[in-house]
Every structure is written in structure tokens, then in C-alpha cells.
Structure 1
Amino acid sequence: MKLATSFTGTRGVRYPSPDVARGFMLLLIALANVPFWTGVTRTSAPSDAVDTVWLWVRTLFVDGRSYPLFAMLFGFGLATMVNRRIAAGTRSYLESLPGVEAGREPTSQEEAWAREQATVDARRLVRRRGLWMILFGAVHALVFSGDVIGAYGLVAVIFAGWIARKHWKRAAVLCTVSVVVGVVITFVMLSVMVSQGMTSTADMRQGASGSTTTLLSYVSHGLTAWAVNAGTGLVSLMGPAMFLGARLADTDLIAHPERHRRLLAAVGLGGLGIGAVGGIGLAVWATGGPLVVWTIPLGQVAGLAGACGWLALLALYAGGPTPDGRLTGLRKPASAVGRRSMTAYLSQTLLFAAVFLLLPALTGIQLHLGEARTAGIAVVVWLVTVVLCTLLERGGHAGPFETLLRTAVVRSERKRAMAPPPAVRPADARSEAVLSG
């Protein structure tokens, strides 16, 4: 099987590590999302020892870890796309200059001009992609208000220029501020809810979900919740995670994990450990213990460390690119899912909706599931997407939603006013000719 390449050109190899990580990440996403569906359908959840054990595992290693991991991989993908687009665009602009085909070397001013034009093109590409993602997310929110495609699209639209021009210092300041603001807002909101007597997980879920007794109320509430979540995402861990992933694209930590085994192993085990310790208070509350308000923002921040741990370990497992591009074991189906992450993510929603909404409506059967059994359903849903993506991989087909997004981005491109290349003076041309001769 040939190595997959970026749509920005055939020169850039698509490394296996991010794809494999995305594939396994979608399992974590399914496990994190299934409580939404049991909450919407008010599925009764018997509590036993198995459920309690699973709640501890999910709280310490899945909840609050899967979506920061998603954001990091999204940022990594955006920055990789930008880097390749700028490199390919710079070459294209330089080759279009008069005399270059005849062997004339471009001047330093021409090289700067070409790179600037390519950078503007990359920024516009990220912004167009982000705008379409917002639309995709809005449609998805009609069924699943927890959609993150729109939130990631909004971040891409706002920070396209920072990513294209690598304003990492600005990003670091913004991320610090957003984490502090997010922690303060979370603490204040939780304090208010606790003062109103809403101290259990069921109370919190009910207070957040509101009334969804009819289809219209379900859809309207879903869109409202989605819009609020997309806006508040700017002061959550989503932004820091996205910028961290984008910054990693300028290193070879993820592209070539085989070169950094000790570092990644330390980050993997240490990150998961810190995330687990920071989530103990949340786990106690989730399993029926008392709520200590500060443990929730602490658990959220610790979740970013846990996400870093997952990314490091998944990158180690995936390994670096091989000469023939072949993947073995679970890496192969995981990579097939990772290459079609949007299709897999949206397919999960359709499958969950079929199980928790459509099936009970058609059969009249009321589901009585515990936490562990719903987790089993999540695993089955993920396995169905694995089969779907594997079949698409064998047939040589991209994911349908990836194809739709790519087509929309390409066809919505518009011509822009472009600064002309710097004029080459005869003296400069003669000097270049002498140097090249």
C-alpha cells in the first residue's frame, strides 16, 4: 500500500502516528459520549460493583481526556496542512517568476514575496475550512448537541493567521489566560449550582440539559447548547490543546516517535498519572461521594495532562513511517479510522441515535442499562466504524464526509488581489547571473 499524502501536494508524506492516534481516540470519544445518550433518554442505570469500577476508570482516563486529545490532533493536522501548503505554494510562486525557468536564481526579495503569498493562501485555506466546519457542526448539532466540529472550526477561523504565521508566543499568553478564566468561570458556576442544592451528577446533567420532551425542544435545545459550547470553547482547554498540537507539528515528536522513545514514554506514563491523580475527586463524586467544588476545575486541567499522556503513548505504539508504508496489527484498522475521523465521528452519532432514540421508539422497549453496559455499546459502535472505515480503505475510498468537506473548501475558493512580485533590476540580474555562473 502506498503512503497516503496530503491533499496540499504529493511531496508530503502522511505519517502513520497521527492517524493511528485518531483511530484509537475515537474509541475514547465514543466512551465519553455515550453518557449523553443515556441522559437524553433517561435510561435507568443500575449501580453495581462493575459500574462503580468502570466509573472510576472512565473518570480517571477518559472523561476530560478524549476531547483535549481530539483538539491536539486537530491542531497538529491544521499546522501540518499549513506547513505543506506554504512549502508547495512558495515553490509554485517562485517557479512562476520570469526567467526562473531559464535558470535564473530568485532574489531574496522574491523569495520573501513568494513565501508571503503562500502564507496568505494557507491562512485563507484554514479559514475557509473552519467556516465549513462550523456549518457541518451546526447540522450535526441537530442530533448531537455535544458536537465539537463547529467549535474547532470557530477556533480555526479566529486563529488561522496565528497558525499560519506561527505566533506561538501570543498563543502561549492566550492559552494561559484562557485556562485561568476557564477555571474561575467553572468554579463560580459550580458554586452557584451547589448553593441551589444541585450536588449529584444527575442534578447537574438535568440542569444542563433542560427540557427536551418534544422533537422541536430537543432540536432547539441542541442548537442552543451547541452554540454556547462553541463560544465558551474559547475559554476552555480546547484552545490550549489545539495550539499545543499545532506546535508539535513543527517538531518530529509525533512524526518520528521512534526517535524519542524515552521522552514519550515518560510523558505518556507521567501525563496519565497526573491526570488520574487530578481526577480522583471527580471519581469520588461520580460514584456517589460528596462534591468538593474545586475538584472539578482541577480535574479539567489534569485532563489536559492525561490527554498528553494518551498522545505520547499512542504515538509510541504507532511508530514512525516505514519504507513501504505498511502497518501491522491494530495499527492498520486504527489508521483507516484515523484517516476518516470525521466520517467515524459523525457515524457514531447516527449509530447512538439509532440505539437510544430510534430503536426504543420503534419497539417500545425501555432500555435498562448500567454504566458498564452502555460502555459496551460504545465499544460496539466504535467497532462498527472500524469495519466501515476498513472497507473504505480496502476499496481505496476516502471518507464521504472528508470528501464533502474537501470539495466544499476547494470550490469555495475565490481569487484575491495579490501584490506583484518585486521588480528585478538589471544590475541584480547580472549579479545573479555571475553568482550562478
Structure 2
Amino acid sequence: MSIDTAPRTSRGPVLRAERALAPDLARGAMLLIIALANVAGVVFAGEPGLDSTPQGVDRGLNFLLFELVHARGYPVFAVMFGYGLVQLARRQDASGATRQQVRSVLLRRNLWLVVFGFAHAALLYYGDFLGAYGIVGIVMTLALLRRGDRFHRIALVLWALAVVEILVLSAVVVSRIGGSGGSAPLPSDHVDSLAAPDYVTSILDRLAEWPAHTLTVLPFIFITWLGMWAARRRVLEELARHRTLLRWTAALGLGIAVAGGLPAALVSAGWLHVDTSTASLSLMLHGASGMFAGPGYVAVFGLVAMRVIRPGPVVGALSALGQRSLSGYLFQSVAWLVLLAPFTLALGDRFGSRTVGGLIIAVVVWLVTVLIARLLDKRGRPGPAEVVLRRLTYGPRT
């Protein structure tokens, strides 16, 4: 069964530009959200990363991080991963590959992503997503890729059930807030590898942390499934035709994420005082609602791309980074190790506020990746990680 279910329409120059721009723009912008989320965890050696006793401007930054960033970056990654898997399969189909050949390419690519993820976690950063998404990609290739439209509607049913879960959990949290006493902080798990005194110890810690972290990511397959559903309909390639869907997705997705994250954001800023159990429930609601930020943010990026007829330097640079998102993602982890680890430069302790310092470093690192991607794009060169993954997937050029 074909994975291309969108009706064919005539294409003009604008729609051709949309097709190339929107997914890449989403991936490029996604890396900024991921950088902001990860750097907070690194500087505070915790998950989620936050200052438990914020003062002054740190209160507002905690609030914004929990509303817009924490548990809101990986869902964008997940949606775009599912979208990209269908795009890759479609390109293979168009090249004349058989179904078995397409499956072999996708399985090989995702198996190598697992290897990339293990190396990434062992050498650089415990919070790796590549390995988990490689496993998810294998499952999607084997179980979901060639299914029909009726089967893929299950993904929409699962998201509808998630809305019901969030509504119920929200009601519980609100009722608990009304009668809650105490002043408990949000629970945060200490991450040993981020506080390790030397590199070898950090490697050993990460080898122990990576399997558990990977297991926590695997259930998010139904987020990637939504990306697959969207790609089958070419939502980000045919933006004008899906304008209404994108608007509703942006409003509802980000609306649910912001509303669901509000209790935890207020607690993190020290503007709401609750007991320990209510703080835990608030964090649970924050995480559950955060997945809706994935399609919400992607829809926003699509709406932005729809207004771009001729990409300028800013949009072009973001798109270039999106085409090299694997390299950009790994570059960030190298930067955290070099700039923030206790046994390297430890720049997180050089500022008056670790939150402010970490966020400044995150933005600067992301801007560096944007500039590097733009330079590579002008020279017509892919990112180094993309070159390696492509060579491993397809073999040496003949």
C-alpha cells in the first residue's frame, strides 16, 4: 500500500518552495528549543533542570522555561522524526526502489541511529534521543509504514484520549491546589554524569543512565506516529491546502501545552506554594500536556513558512540548519561538555545566575550552529554527521 495518500494538485513556484522550506525550518527552530531545555539540565545537573530557589529574574525565566521549553522540545523532535521517515520512504519509492529495498534502507538507517545514540550517550550526553528514536523508527518501519488510512486514524484516537487524560489530571491538580499547604519545590532527579568530577567517571555514569533514559522515551512512539500521519498527507509540503488544520493545531496544541504547564511553571517560579504530592502531580500534568507542544510548534513553523515566498538570509540559515539537524544536535552536546562540565570550563558557575548564564550559552551555541550550517549550505556541503549516517546507510558511492 502506498504511503502517499494526499491528492495530487498542480504545483506553482510558491508551493515548491513550501515543500522544501517548512520541514527544514521546523527542524532548525526545533534545535533552539532543545538547546534551551538541555542546557538548564546541564547547569543544574538535574532533570528537569531548574533553580529550586529562584530569585529576581530567575523566577520569570523558570516560569517561561516550564511553559515553553521543558518537555516541549522533544515532542517537536518526535513529530519531525515521524514526518522525516515518511519523506525518506517516499524518496526511495520515487527512485524506483522496491518495497523490500525501502524497508532495508529504513531499517539500516535506524539501526545506525541506535549506534549513534549509544556513542552520543557514552561520549557526550546522557539525555540522548537518537537511540530511542532509532528503535522507534524500526518499529514504525515494520508495523506502521505501509498501513492504510483507516489504521493510521488510530493515532488521532490516541491523541483524543490524551486530551481526556489531561482534562482529568488538570481537574485533580486544581482541586489539590485549592486545599494545598506547604512550599514544596518541583521534584527533580539528580543526574550523576552531569556532576561527575572527571571525564572517565562521566562516561561510566552515562553508560548506566542511557538505558533507563532510552526506555522512558520509547512510549513516545505515538507522537512520532502523528508526524507520520501528517507526512502521509503532505501537511508541511502543501501548506496552503492545510492552512485551517495548521491554525487549529497551533492554537490547540500550544494552548493545551501552556495551560497544562501553568501549575508547574508557577511552582517553579515560587509564585505558587503547594505540598509535595501536589507538586508531583503538577509536574506530571506538565509532562503530559507538553507533548501537544510538538504539533503546536510544528504548525507555527508551517504557518511562518507559508508566508515566505523568497527565503531571506535568516530563514535560509534556519532551513540550512534543519537540513543538518543531526550535526547541529550533536554539536550542542559537544558544546555542553566543553563549556559546562565541572571538569572542563564550567562556565555555568561563572555568571551571577546559573539560569541566565546557561540560557545565554544555549542561544550562542545554537547561533553558531546556524552560522556553520549556512556556510556549509553556501558550499553545497551536508553536515558531517549526515555524511557519516548516509555512508553507513547506503554504502560508499559508486
Instruction: Using structure 2 for the length normalisation, give the TM-score.
Output: 0.79
User: Any gaps of 5 or more consecutive residues in structure 1?
Assistant: 1-11, 91-117, 188-197, 414-437
Where do residues 267-346 of structure 1 align in structure 2 (5 Å cutoff)?
A: 267-288=249-270, 289-290=273-274, 291=276, 292=278, 293-319=280-306, 326-346=310-330
The answer to whether the 8 A contact 2:42-2:336 is kept is yes
Matches within 5 A, 1:253-264: 253-264=235-246
2:113 pairs with one of 133, 147, 165? 133
Q: Is the 8 A contact 1:15 1:321 kept in 2?
A: no
The code of the aligned residue for 2:28 comes to G
Aligned counterpart, 2:350: 367
Aligned positions of 1:234-253 closer than 5 A: 234-235=218-219, 238-253=220-235
2:148 pairs with 1:162? no
Q: Is the 1:132–1:408 contact (alpha carbons within 8 Å) kept by the matching residues of 2?
A: yes
Query: 1:218 aligned to 2:202?
Result: yes
Q: Per the alignment, do residues 270 and 49 of structure 1 end up closer, same or farther by CA in structure 2, a change over 3 Å counting? A: farther
1:283-328 Cα offsets, whole Å, 9 max, x none, are 1232244352332232222112222211111011112896xxx522
Matches of 1:367 and 1:214 in 2, distance apart?
A: 19
Per-residue Cα deviation, 1:165-214 (whole angstroms, up to 9, x for no partner): 1366666658949x98xx99xx9xxxxxxxxxx9634x623278697344
Please report the RMSD computed on the Cα atoms of aligned residues, expressed in angstroms: 3.4
- 1:122 is matched with which residue? 102
8 Å CA contact 1:17–1:320 kept in 2: the answer is no
1:147 is aligned to 128
Structure 1, residues 318-366: CA drift from partner, whole Å, max 9, x if none?
12896xxx522521110010000001000111112221127x6469994
Q: Unmatched 5+ residue regions in structure 2?
A: 1-15, 170-182
Q: Is the 8 A contact 2:50 2:62 kept in 1?
A: no
Pick aligned residue for 1:200 from 182, 185, 193: 185
What per-residue deviation string (whole Å, max 9, x for no partner) do you get for residues 193-237 of structure 1?
A: xxxxx9634x623278697344333212212222122223222xx
Residue number in structure 2 paired with 1:66: 73
Q: How far apart are the structure 2 equivalents of 1:328 and 1:210? A: 39
Aligned 8 A contact 2:111 2:134 in 1 = yes
Q: Distance in 2 between matches of 1:302 and 1:226?
A: 24
Q: Secondary structure at the match of 2:145?
A: helix
| Structure 2 counterpart of 1:388, one-letter code | I
AA aligned to 1:403 is: V
Provide the C-alpha distance between the structure 2 equivalents of 1:267 and 1:363, rounded to a whole number of angstroms. Answer: 40
Letter of the 2:327 counterpart: T
Matched letter for residue 200 of structure 1: P
Counterpart residue type for residue 320 of structure 2: A
For 1:350, what is the secondary structure of its paired residue? helix
CA distance in 2, matches of 1:283, 1:57: 7
Secondary structure in 2 aligned to 1:64?
A: coil
CA contact (8 A) 1:256 1:319 kept: no
Distance 1:270 1:279, change over 3 A: same
**Cα distance in 1, alignment partners of residues 395 and 144 from structure 2:** 23
Instruction: Give the number of aligned pairs.
Output: 354
Q: Aligned letter for 2:135?
A: L
1:133-180 Cα distance to aligned partner (Å, 9 max, x none): 011111110210001011111111222123431366666658949x98
3-state SS of paired residue (2:95): helix
> Over residues 359-394 of structure 1, what are the superposed CA-to-partner deviations in whole Å (9 max), with x where a residue is unaligned?
x64699943433233212111110010111111011
Q: Which amino acid aligns with 2:131?
A: G
Q: Retained in 2: the 8 A contact 1:21–1:314?
A: yes
3-state SS of the aligned residue for 1:77? helix
1:353-364 to 2 correspondence within 5 Å? Answer: 353-357=337-341, 361=344
Secondary structure of residue in 2 paired with 1:382: helix
Q: Which range is displaced more, 297-306 or 147-156?
A: 297-306
* Aligned residue in 2 for 1:229: 213
Q: In the TM superposition, what whole-angstrom CA distance separates every residue of 1:75-115 from its partner, at most 9, and x where no partner exists?
A: 1010111122123326xxxxxxxxxxxxxxxxxxxxxxxxx
- Change in Cα spacing, 1:330 to 1:211, as seen in structure 2 (3 Å) is closer
Conservation of the 8 A alpha-carbon contact between 2:66 and 2:261: yes
Deviation at 1:35, TM superposition (A): 1.5
- State how far apart, in whole Å, the 2-side matches of 1:374 and 1:43 are: 11
Contact 2:83–2:227 (8 Å) recurs in 1: yes
Q: Which whole-Å CA distance do the structure 2 matches of 1:381 and 1:389 have between them?
A: 12
TM superposition shift of 1:275? 0.8
Q: For 1:321 and 1:80, locate their aligned partners in 2 and report how far apart those are by CA, in whole Å.
A: 22
CA distance in 2, matches of 1:132, 1:37: 26
User: Residue in 1 aligned with 2:7?
Assistant: none
**Counterpart of 2:89?**
82
Alpha-carbon distance in 2 for matches of 1:407, 1:398? 12
Amino acid paired to 1:152 = Y
Q: CA distance change for structure 1 residues 43 and 249 in 2, over 3 Å: closer, same or farther?
A: closer
Equivalence map 1:16-95=2 (5 Å): 16-40=21-45, 47-89=54-96
SS at match of 2:237: coil
CA contact (8 A) 2:67 2:258 kept: yes
Q: Does 1:392 align with 2:372?
A: no
| 1:176/1:234 CA distance change after superposition, 3 Å | farther
Report if aligned partners of 1:137, 1:148 keep a CA contact under 8 Å in 2.
Answer: yes
Q: What is the alpha-carbon distance in structure 1 between the residues aligned to residue 149 and residue 285 of structure 2?
A: 25
The percent identity for this pair of structures is: 29
- Structure 1 residue 282 displacement after superposition: 1.4
Distance 1:169 1:131 in 2: 29
Bigger Cα Rg? 1
> Structure 2: how far apart are the matches of 1:364 and 1:250?
44
